[in-house]
């Protein structure tokens, strides 16, 4: 009865209107608040007529149980943080998109964070104020501050693209070295001998593994790289560095650390330098983004399968949530060769 006084004050419709609560519905339906709560729970007893009545009134008022309030006495919030990679990068954009779909299908809500700001700033910022069920990090290198923070808050971490050795931290990586070895073998069998590598930023673990895989395969054939240069994984960066590489060295194989740079290199080689790809020069990428299959590029590359990766992330996530103290796991994904027209 004292509640009535509170709800009668001035009918504040012009101020910010508030979301209907279970109490509001209970008053409108002439039942207790508990009954409203039970009307939205499958397990609780409630008379069918009463349940229908409550649900109809709730629908009219636009009531839905507030997940944040309910989450207080539940152990899961169903919120999962994603630190996105470089979304200007086509592969990362594709990955993010599929990851969002996969998490939604798994009943989790992805809160996406800008990965381009420093990870330390991300920690300083208040995303960890939210009780995330887990954190998925896409990136080339690992930030120890984030690992520590998540450990203290008991937030499971899944790393996507690099391996982290810490308790309750899982990771999923592509078999970069093996994939690159397949590319190297393909080019060696075709008779290529004068190789250069167009790599990405050195702090990316995948970049180093791809370089290593290439070097090892060449060493087995008694060869070594003529030149190695780094760009920023972007199309423009790849084009710029590829021009320098192709002008300074006499190459017959330019192996790139990802598709975007390979496509940039392809443009420079064909249009600016007038080289004949693949007759005089092989150019290869890595990842197999959508664009690699476009007829104007038709890029030979190694497929870093997005769907399989996302499925692996979801699997790691669910296993970790089911058994928080389980030992860390690492999933490795095979990168298979995609033979097209640039080798």
Partner DNA sequence: ACCCTATCTGCACACGTGTTCATAGTCACC
Partner DNA sequence: GGTGACTATGAACACGTGTGCAGATAGGGT
Smallest distance from the beta carbon of 329 to a second copy, in angstroms? 18
Q: Which of 9, 15, 16, 43 binds DNA (CB under 7 A)?
A: 43
79: contact with a second copy by CB under 8 A = yes
Closer CB to DNA, residue 42 or residue 276?
42
Smallest distance from the beta carbon of 255 to a second copy, in angstroms? 20
- Cite the DSSP H helix spans in the chain: 2-8, 22-29, 33-39, 48-61, 67-72, 90-105, 119-124, 144-153, 176-189, 205-220, 235-248, 259-267, 306-322
32: contact with DNA by CB under 7 A = yes
Distance CA 47, CA 27 (A): 18
- Which residues have a Cβ under 8 Å from the Cβ of 254 and sit 6 or more positions away? 195, 196, 198, 242, 245, 246, 262, 265, 269, 281, 282, 283, 284
Selection from a second copy, DNA, none that 112 binds (CB < 5 to 8 A by kind) is a second copy
Smallest distance from the beta carbon of 175 to a second copy, in angstroms? 26
73: contact with DNA by CB under 7 A = yes
Query: Which residue, 202, 204, 201, 199, is CA-closest to 180?
Result: 199
| Segment contacting a second copy by CB under 8 A, of 2-10, 128-136, 172-180, 185-193 | 128-136
Closer CB to DNA, residue 65 or residue 201?
65
Q: Report CA-CA distances (Å) from 117 to 122, 125, 135, 162, 216.
A: 7, 11, 16, 19, 35
Smallest distance from the beta carbon of 117 to DNA, in angstroms? 24
35: contact with DNA by CB under 7 A = yes
155: contact with DNA by CB under 7 A = no
| Residues between 258 and 287 with contacts to DNA, criterion CB under 7 A | none
64: contact with a second copy by CB under 8 A = yes
Name all contacts of 314-323 with Cβ < 8 Å and 24+ positions apart. 314/102, 314/103, 314/106, 316/158, 316/170, 316/172, 317/80, 317/106, 317/108, 317/134, 317/136, 317/156, 317/158, 318/106, 320/134, 320/156, 320/158, 320/168, 320/170, 321/76, 321/133, 321/134, 321/156
305: contact with DNA by CB under 7 A = no
40: contact with DNA by CB under 7 A = yes
Selection from a second copy, DNA, none that 34 binds (CB < 5 to 8 A by kind) is DNA
Residue ranges binding a second copy (CB under 8 A): 14, 16-19, 61-62, 64-72, 75, 77, 79, 84, 87-88, 90, 93-94, 96-97, 100-101, 104, 109-114, 116-117, 125-131, 149, 151-154, 235-236, 239, 264, 266-268, 270-272, 290-291, 294-296, 324-325
């Amino acid at each position: 009865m004292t509640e009535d006084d509170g709800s009668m004050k001035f009918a504040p419709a012009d101020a910010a209107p508030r979301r209907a609560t279970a109490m509001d519905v209970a008053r409108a339906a002439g039942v207790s608040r508990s009954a409203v709560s039970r009307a939205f729970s499958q397990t609780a007893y409630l008379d069918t007529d009463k349940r229908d009545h409550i649900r109809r009134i709730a629908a009219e008022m636009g009531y839905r149980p507030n997940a944040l309030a309910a989450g207080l006495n539940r152990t899961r919030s169903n919120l999962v943080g994603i630190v996105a990679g470089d979304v200007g990068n086509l592969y990362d954009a594709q990955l993010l998109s599929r990851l969002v779909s996969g998490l939604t299908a798994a009943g989790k809500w992805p809160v996406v964070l800008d990965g381009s700001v420093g990870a330390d700033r991300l920690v300083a910022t208040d995303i960890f104020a939210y009780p995330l069920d887990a954190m998925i990090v896409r990136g080339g290198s690992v930030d120890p501050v984030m690992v520590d923070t998540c450990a203290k808050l008991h937030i499971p971490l899944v790393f996507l693209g690099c391996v982290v050795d810490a308790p309750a931290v899982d990771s999923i990586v592509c078999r970069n070295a093996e994939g690159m070895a397949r590319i190297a073998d393909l080019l060696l069998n075709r008779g290529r001998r004068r190789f250069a590598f167009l790599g990405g930023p050195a702090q990316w673990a995948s970049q180093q593994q791809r370089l290593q895989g290439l070097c090892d395969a060449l060493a087995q054939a008694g060869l070594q790289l003529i030149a190695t240069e780094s760009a920023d994984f972007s199309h423009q960066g790849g084009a710029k560095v590829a021009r320098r590489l192709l002008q300074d060295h006499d190459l017959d194989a330019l192996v790139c650390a990802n598709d975007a740079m390979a496509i940039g290199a392809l443009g420079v080689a064909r249009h600016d330098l007038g080289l004949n790809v693949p007759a005089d020069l092989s150019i290869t990428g890595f990842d197999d983004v959508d664009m690699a299959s476009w007829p104007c590029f038709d890029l030979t590359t190694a497929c870093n399968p997005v769907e399989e990766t996302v499925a692996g992330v979801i699997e790691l996530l669910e296993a970790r949530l089911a058994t928080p103290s389980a030992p860390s796991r690492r999933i490795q994904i095979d990168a298979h060769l995609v033979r097209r027209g640039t080798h």
